[in-house]
Amino acid sequence: MSETPIVATHDVSRVFTQGKIEVRALDGVSVEIHAGEFLAFTGPSGSGKTTLLNLIGALDTPTSGRVELEGKDLASMGRSARSHIRRDRIGFVFQAYNLIPVFTAFENAEMVVRLQGVSEEERTARVNKLLADVGLEGLEDRRPDELSGGQQQRVAIARALATQPAIVLADEPTANVDSGTADTLLDLMQKLNEERGATFLFSTHDPRVMERAKRVVRLVDGRVDSDERRTP
C-alpha cells in the first residue's frame, strides 16, 4: 500500500434534521484508507455506516469536517465536479443491484465507460474481459430479468470496475443473495482485490464480509468504536 491515503476523513460529522429534531448520524469521524485495502465498515443499525459510505462516494456532503479522495476535498467541489468524480474515480455496488432493466449485461457494465468517452474498441474489450473475469462469459446479451440475483450482482461488480476507479464502494452487497452466492461473490471481490489491486470499502452487517476483510472499522452512534487491521 502507498503511504498517501486514497481516502481521508477529517473530523467528519453529518447531522440530519427531522422536523425540529436533529439526528447526528456521524460525529467526528477521522479515518485514513490506502489503495488496495479490503475494508469493512460495520456496526449496529443507525451507527452511520451507509452515511459514511455516501460521503466518501460524493453522494452527500458533511455538515462539518472534510472528506478527501486522492487528496481532493470533495465538499469544496461544485456539483458538476463531484459528478465527474463519481463517474471516473468511484465504483458503486448496491444491495439492490441498480441495473437498467432494458439493458443487457454488457450494456449495463458498459454504460458508465461510454459516458467517459472511451472508444468503442477499448470499452468492448474492457467490458468483455471483466464479464469473463466475474464468470459471466456467454451471458453478455441477457437482460437482468434473465439473470439470477447473484449474476446481477456480478454485472454490478463488473460495471463498478469497468471505469477503472480509485475505489469501489459496496453497500451491503450480499444482503439480497443466498449464503452460497454470497460466498461466491466475496471470493470474486477478494480475488479482484488481490489480483487487480482494487480497493473495496464495504458497509455491512454480514459476518462473512467481516471475516474476509483485511481491516474492520466498527462504528457506534456515529463514532469510530474500533479499527482492527488483520495480518494476512
Within-domain flag for 72: no
Tell me the backbone φ, ψ of residue 157, rounded to 5 degrees. Answer: -70, -45
- Condensed to tens digits (0 to 9), the pLDDT of residues 73-112 reads 998 999 999 999 999 999 998 888 889 999 999 999 999 8
- DSSP readout, the chain? --SS-SEEEEEEEEEEEETTEEEEEEEEEEEEE-TT-EEEEE-STTSSHHHHHHHHTTSS--SEEEEEETTEEGGGS-HHHHHHHHHHHEEEEETT----TTS-HHHHHHHHHHHTT--HHHHHHHHHHHHHHTT-TT-TT--GGGS-HHHHHHHHHHHHHHT--SEEEEESTTTTS-HHHHHHHHHHHHHHHHHH---EEEE---HHHHHH-SEEEEEETTEEEEEEE---
Domain limits for position 101: 35-61+78-229
Confidence of residue 232 (pLDDT cuts 50, 70, 90): low
206 contact partners, CB below 8 Å, separation of at least 6: 172, 174, 175, 182
Return the C-alpha cell found at 30: 477521522
Number of domains into which the chain is organized: 1
Q: Is the pLDDT confidence value at 52 over 90? A: yes
**Sign of torsion, CA 162 87 114 106?**
positive
Question: 6, 7, 15: which is closest to 61 by C-alpha?
Answer: 15
Cell representation of residue 109: 457494465
In a domain, 91, yes or no: yes
Please state, in angstroms and rounded to a whole number, the distance separating the CA atoms of residues 54 and 22. 19
Is residue 108 one of the residues assigned to a domain?
yes
173-222: per-residue pLDDT in tens? Answer: 888 778 888 888 888 889 888 988 889 999 998 999 999 999 999 999 99
Q: d(Cα 37, Cα 91) in Å, to the nearest integer?
A: 15
**d(C-alpha 86, C-alpha 32), whole Å:** 19
Q: How far apart are CA 67 and CA 26, in angstroms?
A: 13
Above 60 in pLDDT, residue 1? no
Is 70 exceeded by the pLDDT of residue 64? yes
What CATH code is carried by the domain that includes residue 137?
3.40.50.300
Whole-model pTM: value is 0.89
Average pLDDT over residues 46-59: 94
pLDDT of residue 51: 95
Of all residues in the chain, the percent with pLDDT exceeding 90 is: 69
Instruction: State pLDDT tens for residues 3-16.
Output: 789 999 999 999 99
Percent of the chain's residues with pLDDT above 70: 98
Q: Does residue 8 lie in a domain region?
A: no
Q: Which residue has the higher pLDDT, 1 or 103?
A: 103
Three cell numbers written together for 151: 449474476
Contact of 7 with 57, CB cutoff 8 Å: no
70 lies in a domain? no
Average pLDDT of span 106-134: 92
pLDDT at 120 over 70: yes
**Residues ≥6 apart with Cβ < 8 Å to 125:** none
- Mean pLDDT across the chain, nearest whole number? 92
Kindly indicate the confidence band of residue 28, based on its pLDDT and cuts at 50, 70 and 90: very high
Is 87 part of a structural domain of the chain?
A: yes
For residue 30, being part of any structural domain is answered with no
Residue 18 within a domain? no
Average pLDDT over residues 145-163: 91
